[in-house]
Structure 1
């Protein structure tokens, strides 16, 4: 009878432990090359922690978001200031920046949040004076440094998100057409009266 209980307890434990649902990033263990390939936007800059943080999904790894002041855009498009997610529990962000450091962010747009989030924890790369610092391991550090060096050889510049200016452009175009129409009608009215 004792053996039956031991088997039952072992079986029950296996079922319980294998059915536990953990919330974590599916891309936590990505290699740097995978992070680089998966990133939709890659930017260099600093987090602005004076901005009020927001929680979109408390169970999400990158549930905290704040402003990120973009100095360079390497991949994709971004405005001068974006909202970017970060892992609040990683810590050290403010200290690194107070010492003059920046972050190279490899970002993606996920469906569960309204802001860009790092591809994985390894997609938040601390940079000091153009050099990758304090990363997970030496190999990752080399891969990210090579990426930075390759980008330095290219003409890097901030590419502003033009999609946010589309409604403004359309509005200005419509106003211009209305102005031309009114001017033309007035001109015709003046000719008829003379």
Structure 2
């Protein structure tokens, strides 16, 4: 009887895990205009897959260094930013970039640690030799027209704190004093605990 119950529990656990994975990696197709309007930052460049990934705080994305060549939206964007990417997109993006392609990414603030592509792959447009690579002609034409807008150059230093050149998110910078406080309190608590225990022994 216990074996039967165990098998039933194992089945439902596997089933629910599979459902979560499918849900996490499926994206609703967005209209290009919605992608553009939601984006806070739009840049052209390449993900640096040799960089150390930063785990996402509240999303399925992880952050990677992104080498910016052109800026289409956003102020004082540095030449290197941290941009989110779904772990399941690493393979095809890396392969496309190795073949000479670039990514036009439309970024929004969904994760507290870094900016992420709008609607996952909706906000990641493949560019090859200055042309959009997309199976749907209407979407390809929309982003081809978008690329005709005059881009800005990325800067080496950042004036505002929206994106950091040293890739430390603003939230993390503000969190450092809090983390230090927690560490100090933890050490004081251990010392206090040791003193009380020592006195009880004596």
When the two structures are superposed, what TM-score results if normalisation uses the length of structure 2? 0.61
Partner of 1:41: 41
Partner of 1:93: 93
Cα deviation code 1:107-140 (max 9, x no counterpart): 0112x3310100112110010111011x252221
Contact 2:71 2:151 in 1 (8 A): no
- Alignment length (residue pairs): 138
Partner of 1:156: 152
> 1:84, 1:54 → 2: CA distance?
10
Cα deviation code 1:12-54 (max 9, x no counterpart): xxxxxxxx98855897332111101111100000000110112
> 2:151, 2:106 → 1: CA distance?
19
Structure 1 unaligned segments of length 5 or more: list them. 1-19, 165-194
Partner of 2:78: 79
SS in 1 for 2:160: helix
Runs of 4+ residues deviating >4 angstroms? 20-27
Q: 1:94 to 1:155 in 2, by over 3 A?
A: closer
User: Offset of 1:55 from its aligned partner?
Assistant: 1.6
> 2:26, 2:146 → 1: CA distance?
23
SS in 2 for 1:156: coil
> 1:88, 1:126 → 2: CA distance?
17
Cα deviation code 1:57-101 (max 9, x no counterpart): 4x724x221000000111013211000001121331111111111
> 1:35, 1:106 → 2: CA distance?
7
Partner of 1:70: 68
Partner of 1:114: 113
> 2:82, 2:51 → 1: CA distance?
10
Q: 1:33 to 1:47 in 2, by over 3 A?
A: same
Q: 1:155 to 1:43 in 2, by over 3 A?
A: closer
RMSD: 2.5
Contact 2:25 2:88 in 1 (8 A): no
When the two structures are superposed, what TM-score results if normalisation uses the length of structure 1? 0.63
Contact 2:64 2:82 in 1 (8 A): yes
Asked which structure has the greater CA Rg, the reply is 1
